[in-house]
Structure 1
Amino acid sequence: MHKKIARWVQDKQNGIKRAVVTAYDYPLACCAAAAGVHGVLVGDSLGMVVTGADDTLGVTLEQMAYHTRMVVRGAGDCLVFADLPFGTYEKGPEQAWDAAATLLRAGADVIKLEGGAEMAPTVAFCAERGVNICAHIGLTPQRVRQWGSFQQQGTDADSARRLQADAGALAEAGARFVVLEAVPDALAADITRDIAIPTIGIGAGPDTDAQVLVMHDLLGISAKSPPFARRYIEGSQIMRDALAEYVRDVGNNGFPPRRKC
C-alpha cells in the first residue's frame, strides 16, 4: 500500500481527522501544502468554479491532466487525488484504466470516480492493476442531469440502505477511499463506522474520517457556494479592494513610484 495512504488508514483507526481541499493550479497547491493540508483534489469542479460552467460535464481528460500536472508541482507531501471526468470511465473497466493511466502519468496518487455498486467491477479491475481508487457516492455531480438538481441523497430508508450497500461493495472491490457527498450526517457516520477504508465527507456531517472543501468556496471567491460550505474569508472582497486601490494609485500617479535618476 502507498505509504501516504497507509497513514490515512492508521489515522482512521486512531480517530484522527484529515483535511482535503481542491486545487487546480500550482500557487493554490503550494498554499495548501504550506498550511498543512493533508490532501488536494484536482476536481472536475474546475468546470464550475474556474471556467464558470453550470456543471462539470464539459471537463475533458486533457484538462484534468493539465491541471493535475500543475498541482503536483506544488503539492509537497499532500496526497493528490484527481477526478476522472464525465465520459472517460463509464463504458467499462478498460476505458477507466486508460483514463486513469493518463492522470497517473500526470502525477496523481489517487484516481476518483463517481458511482455506486455498479462501478465495483471497474474499481476491482483498476485496483488489481495497482491504481489507488477513491469512490464517490451520494450526490454525484456528473449525474446532476439525472437528479435534476444538486440535492441531498440518502434521505429515506431505501436510498440510505442503497448507499450503505454501495459503500460496502466499493470497499470490497478494492477502493482506498470513498467520498460521501450531501448525505445525512447519521448515514455518513454509519458508513464511516461500517467500512475499513477512510471516508471523505462534503456536506455529510462531522463524523467522516476526513473533510473536503472546494478551495474557492473556502476562500470566498466562488460566485455561489453550496449551503454546507464555509467561507473562511471573503476573498472576493479582499481582491476587489486591492484592485480598486491599484486603479486609484494609477489614476493618482501613485504607481509606479518615481525613481531617482
Structure 2
Amino acid sequence: MSGIAILLAAVAVLAGVTWWHASRKSRRRRAWRATRLGGGRAAVVERLFPLWKRVPEATRRSAEGWMRVFLEEKSFEPCGGLEAVTEEMMLAIAAPACLLIAHRPQDYYESLRSVLVYPDAYRVRDEWGLEDVRLGESWGSGSVVLAWQSVLQGDANPEDGLNVVLHEFAHQLDQEDGAADGVPEFEEMEDYGRWSRAMAPAYESFVERVNAGKRTVLDDYGAESPAEFFAVATETFFEKSAALKREEPEVYAELARFYGMDPAAW
C-alpha cells in the first residue's frame, strides 16, 4: 500500500471514530434532555431559586433537560477550603445557567469544562499584581468561578437584578466566539447589525448617565465595558424585566430575541 493510500485510510478511520464519538454524545444528550428533574431535585431548585416558579412550563421543561446534560458533563470543583460541592450547590448553579439556554438554538457552553466553587468572596492578583476581591468570573479557557455565598444570595432574591450565575454564564455565551466583547455569537449575519444598532448606543448612553451619577435600572458595574453591560443587562432582563423593558425597550427586545423568551410577561 502506498504512503498516500495509508494516509487516506488513517484519515478515514479518524473521521469514523470522530463521527462515532459525536453521535454517541448526541444520543446521550437526547436521552438526558428527554427526562425531567425528579421531584426532590425540582423542590430544591424552587426553594433556592424562587424565580423558577414563575418560569413558563415549556421553558422550564427545556431548561431542566439542559440541566440534566449540564450536571452529567460539567465538573464541579471545591476551592478555597470548601470541602465539597453538594448536589444542592450544583442545582443552584445549574438552574439559572441553563435557564439562559433553554431556547438557544446553538450548542451550549461547549467549551466549558468545570465550575470552580469558593465558599465566599475570594482574593486574586490581577495582571498588574494588585490584589482583588471577586464574587465570580468567567474564563474563556473552560471554567466559571463562583463564590457560593453570592450564588445563594443572588438566587434567593429574584427581584434585585443581581445574580452572579446569570452574570458569569452570560459571559460564557459572550465568549463562545472567542472574544469577550459584549457581542455573543449569532447564527445569522443580520443579527449582528441589529444587535449593534441597539446595544452600542444604549451602552454609550448608560456610561454617560453613570458618570453623571444618575441611577438606572441597570447596575453601575455594567459601565465597565460592553462585555459587562451585556452581563448586567442579562441579570436585569430576568430579574427586573418590566423595568428594563420600560427604560431600555431596544435592549430588552434584543435580549428577548437572543434568549428566546419574554420574562416581562411571566
| TM-score normalised over the length of structure 1 | 0.26
| TM-score normalised over the length of structure 2 | 0.26
Flag the structure with higher helix content: 2
